[in-house]
Structure 1
């Protein structure tokens, strides 16, 4: 009899503001149990998914599956990057940017059926000051929003919108020096996003032509703009036309240094991380396997 593949499902119980009490039962109903032997573990503190991913390598699992949002994917992916272990995704977050880009269904049962196929793709990963990111890292306005959102008691799109409005009221652009593949740029920017994939989540595209397999990061510089144009900027995001805005410049790069005036939050796949004035960013070509 062929041995079943051992899969560890790492469940974030609070991601996206969704209850997941019936998730295990759903997996047992939909997963092909003749091919797969599932185990379930629930995260209960920050970085727990990373710890469980490292443990899964030691215990010889054949795959790990992130049941959560981009933050859970980041922790679990960071644990297994550079190994041959594939990462599955059951999207349960507020934005689900990476899952949407990869075409992984937001419906639980449909996403579990993707695991049954067990088809993988090798994708690029980004790295900023030693921290991995798989979707987007950024500084400026969106990092401040992520920092505020982390303290919100309302999760999901409503909580995120509240954070956007709260930060927008008194946010000021900053000056940055960028070194991209040997070329220097000095910019005043509302925010800078370094994109491995095109969208933040919820189909908001900051880098419409980014690809997670091309070995290149898209450095998206959103310049200072009049606040009355904020609705138009949002329109560009949700119509995949950010690159057509007069206030957005997108520069490709593999090796990137960004120097800012002060330390502060950087968002890494939506999670705020405090970092210093100098940010060193690089691409790791085809360094992670994802089940899709």
Structure 2
């Protein structure tokens, strides 16, 4: 029997993501590796110089895997440090918003998630380049949801109650935008409450805004919320049925430009980025390697 492969594992641990201590995750990591040949390096993030410290640790330690222990923000920060490096990203979903982990069907149980990191398969996934400088792993948008992200963080709201307060405030103040969207197929004008660029399928809340999304297909989806409709909104949280295209329009793109008549709220992967009047985006196919569960063999 072939001995198990010895791996050098670098864990980037966000100690406060989700508002909960990560001591149990640390313990699970150490316990998992106790009787295995893997070499561990645990890097505790501090929210100050994490990017530089992680980059330096990757260059000096030369790990076989780098693992983000936290939520979507931690995953994105780690992923950006791995671009143009032949090192796969592992994810231990330990945040309040674990949208990327859900989208990739990663287990939430610590031992199962660690098994994926050690014994899973390497899958290249796409990224979206926004305005030639920002990377979107998951979902970006202008309009209603970006406004919600701003309110949520400005008021330091937490949990489902905070989210509900933010939703109520946004809906009371909702105003449609006039947008022009230019793609390789031409230009369209729309009045919309929100335009999303979706590399993945769902938000961290579990809302499935892009049911047919695939992070490895070389495209992103453009979702235009043309009318606010409770029945269409509820479809995102229950068993999927096709959206009414008169209310929610969806199409594929490899690149586009969005221009708005007035400045619009803008967010990338849950981080509010301010008010904008123009957005350029293009797909970066297969730019990030991620550890995913092994595919089940057909019987």
Q: Report the TM-score, using the length of structure 1 for normalisation.
A: 0.90
Cα-to-partner distance string for 1:165-195 (whole Å, 9 max, x where unaligned): 2222112111111112241011111101100
- 1:157 and 2:153 matched: no
Q: 2:281 — aligned with what?
A: 281
8 Å contact 1:193–1:221 — kept in the other structure?
yes
CA shift, 1:30, in A, is: 1.7
Cα-to-partner distance string for 1:67-122 (whole Å, 9 max, x where unaligned): 11111111111121232111111112233111112110122232122222142111
Q: How do 1:51-130 and structure 2 match up within 5 A? A: 51-59=52-60, 60-129=62-131, 130=133
Q: 2:197 — aligned with what?
A: 194
Q: 2:145 — aligned with what?
A: 142
Cα-to-partner distance string for 1:115-161 (whole Å, 9 max, x where unaligned): 22142111111111121111111110011111111234343333222
8 Å contact 1:136–1:195 — kept in the other structure?
yes
Q: How do 1:1-292 and structure 2 match up within 5 A? A: 4-31=6-33, 34-45=36-47, 48-59=49-60, 60-129=62-131, 130-225=133-228, 229-230=229-230, 232-238=231-237, 239-241=239-241, 243-244=243-244, 246-274=246-274, 276-292=276-292
8 Å contact 1:94–1:157 — kept in the other structure?
no
State the aligned residue count.
287
Question: Quick check: which has more Rg, 1 or 2?
Answer: 2
Query: 2:289, 2:35 → 1: CA distance?
Result: 22
Partner of 1:153, secondary structure, is: coil
Partner of 1:22, secondary structure, is: helix
- What is the CA RMSD across the aligned residues, in angstroms? 2.2
8 Å contact 1:53–1:64 — kept in the other structure?
no
Partner of 2:22, secondary structure, is: coil
Partner of 1:23, secondary structure, is: helix
Query: 2:262, 2:144 → 1: CA distance?
Result: 14
8 Å contact 2:226–2:248 — kept in the other structure?
yes
Please say which of residues 19-28 and 152-161 is displaced more in the overlay: 152-161
Query: 2:99, 2:30 → 1: CA distance?
Result: 26
Gap change, CA 1:199 and 1:82, over 3 Å in 2: same
Cα-to-partner distance string for 1:12-56 (whole Å, 9 max, x where unaligned): 22222222122211111123663421212222226x543344223
Q: Which runs of 5+ in 2 are unaligned?
A: 293-299
Q: Which runs of 5+ in 1 are unaligned?
A: none
Gap change, CA 1:54 and 1:262, over 3 Å in 2: farther
8 Å contact 1:141–1:190 — kept in the other structure?
yes
8 Å contact 2:144–2:194 — kept in the other structure?
yes
